[in-house]
């Protein structure tokens, strides 16, 4: 009897150890998942931090429907005052606009953007429209023809560049100076044309 009692006690102790070990493993697993999820969430939030005036515009290399590639670095970049004039690239003030053909505010502000481009293109303004449409080869050709778009329309169907600038919606318009410094960020602004005109009239008359 005594031996059987001792054996039952050992079984209970073993069972208790197993239960405690399972509790520990469950707690560790929960902590690990919580930490990983929080870290992942933090990375996403950091990735989607919207760019602001005064910051350098993130570089990009993108292509249009015809396969022509455009690099922001070829149009504006950091201050090159230390480089001999003969070696300096011709730099421009740049406007980039993220849009979608099915976005009503995007379509509404497009004529204003095109008027701004026509007004300042001969003074050193470059403009890129960046489409986030999922099937650009289907929707962009008739859209470009309808609105008589003459500026490059770049493809961002996976929204990588949109996210690099910290945005998750359209329209967004960014004004960038010759040294790639962001001067202004506009989101669905009813006075977009007026505000751009005011800034460009000073910037491109220097």
The answer to whether residue 53 sits within a structural domain is no
Residue 139 has a CB neighbour count (10 Å cut-off) of 15
The answer to whether residue 52 sits within a structural domain is no
pLDDT in tens, 100-154: 999 999 999 999 999 999 999 999 999 999 999 999 999 999 999 999 999 999 9
Considering the domain architecture, whether residues 32 and 69 belong to the same structural domain is answered as no
The answer to whether residue 117 sits within a structural domain is yes
Predicted confidence at residue 45, as pLDDT, reads 45
Considering the domain architecture, whether residues 6 and 93 belong to the same structural domain is answered as no
Q: Which two tokens stand for residue 53?
A: 């005036």
The answer to whether residue 163 sits within a structural domain is yes
Scan for tokens 């967004």, then name that residue: 172
Considering the domain architecture, whether residues 17 and 85 belong to the same structural domain is answered as no
Rounded CA-CA distance 65/134 in Å is: 13
Predicted confidence at residue 78, as pLDDT, reads 76
Considering the domain architecture, whether residues 38 and 76 belong to the same structural domain is answered as no
Considering the domain architecture, whether residues 70 and 117 belong to the same structural domain is answered as yes
Considering the domain architecture, whether residues 28 and 114 belong to the same structural domain is answered as no
SS3 186: strand
pLDDT in tens, 47-79: 579 999 999 999 999 999 999 999 999 999 876
The answer to whether residue 54 sits within a structural domain is no
Scan for tokens 């003074």, then name that residue: 123
Nearest one of 101, 96, 136, 138 to 117, comparing CA atoms: 96
Considering the domain architecture, whether residues 25 and 78 belong to the same structural domain is answered as no
Q: Which two tokens stand for residue 173?
A: 């318009």
Considering the domain architecture, whether residues 86 and 3 belong to the same structural domain is answered as no
Instruction: Assess whether pLDDT exceeds 80 at residue 11.
Output: no
> Is residue 166 a contact partner of residue 48, using CB atoms and an 8 Å limit?
yes
The answer to whether residue 76 sits within a structural domain is yes
Q: Which DSSP symbol is given to 59?
A: P
Instruction: Provide the domain limits for residue 133.
Output: 61-203
pLDDT in tens, 153-192: 999 999 999 999 999 999 999 999 999 999 999 999 999 9
Considering the domain architecture, whether residues 104 and 195 belong to the same structural domain is answered as yes
Nearest one of 46, 73, 50 to 172, comparing CA atoms: 50
The answer to whether residue 56 sits within a structural domain is no
Considering the domain architecture, whether residues 39 and 66 belong to the same structural domain is answered as no
Rounded CA-CA distance 115/178 in Å is: 21
> Is residue 155 a contact partner of residue 124, using CB atoms and an 8 Å limit?
no
Number of domains in the chain: 2
Nearest one of 197, 25, 16 to 120, comparing CA atoms: 197
Predicted confidence at residue 130, as pLDDT, reads 98
The answer to whether residue 55 sits within a structural domain is no
Considering the domain architecture, whether residues 114 and 31 belong to the same structural domain is answered as no
Question: Strand 125-131 to strand 93-99: parallel, antiparallel, or no bridges (unpaired)?
Answer: parallel
pTM, two decimals, is: 0.74
Considering the domain architecture, whether residues 85 and 147 belong to the same structural domain is answered as yes
Full 3-state SS string of 70-117: EEHHHCCCCCCCCCCHHHCCCCCEEEEEEECCCCHHHHHHHHHHHHHH
CA 78 to chain centre: 20
CATH number for the domain that contains residue 110: 3.40.30.10
């Amino acid at each position: 009897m005594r031996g059987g009692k001792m054996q039952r006690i050992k079984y209970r102790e073993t069972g208790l150890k197993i239960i405690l070990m399972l509790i520990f493993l469950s707690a560790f697993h929960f902590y690990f998942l919580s930490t990983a999820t929080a870290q992942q969430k933090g990375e996403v939030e950091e990735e989607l931090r919207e760019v602001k005036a005064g910051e350098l515009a993130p570089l990009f290399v993108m292509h249009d429907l015809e396969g022509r590639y455009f690099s922001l670095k070829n149009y504006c970049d950091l201050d090159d005052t230390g480089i001999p004039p003969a070696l300096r690239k011709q730099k421009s003030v740049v406007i980039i606009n993220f849009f979608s053909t099915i976005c009503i505010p995007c379509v509404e502000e497009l004529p204003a953007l095109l008027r701004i481009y026509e007004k300042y293109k001969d003074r050193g303004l470059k403009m890129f429209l960046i489409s986030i449409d999922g099937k650009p080869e289907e929707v962009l050709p008739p859209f470009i023809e309808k609105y008589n778009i003459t500026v490059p329309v770049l493809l961002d169907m996976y929204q990588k560049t949109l996210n690099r600038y910290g945005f998750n919606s359209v329209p967004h318009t960014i004004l960038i100076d010759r040294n790639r410094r962001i001067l202004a960020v506009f989101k669905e602004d009813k006075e977009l044309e007026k505000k751009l005109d005011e800034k460009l009239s000073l910037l491109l008359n220097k």
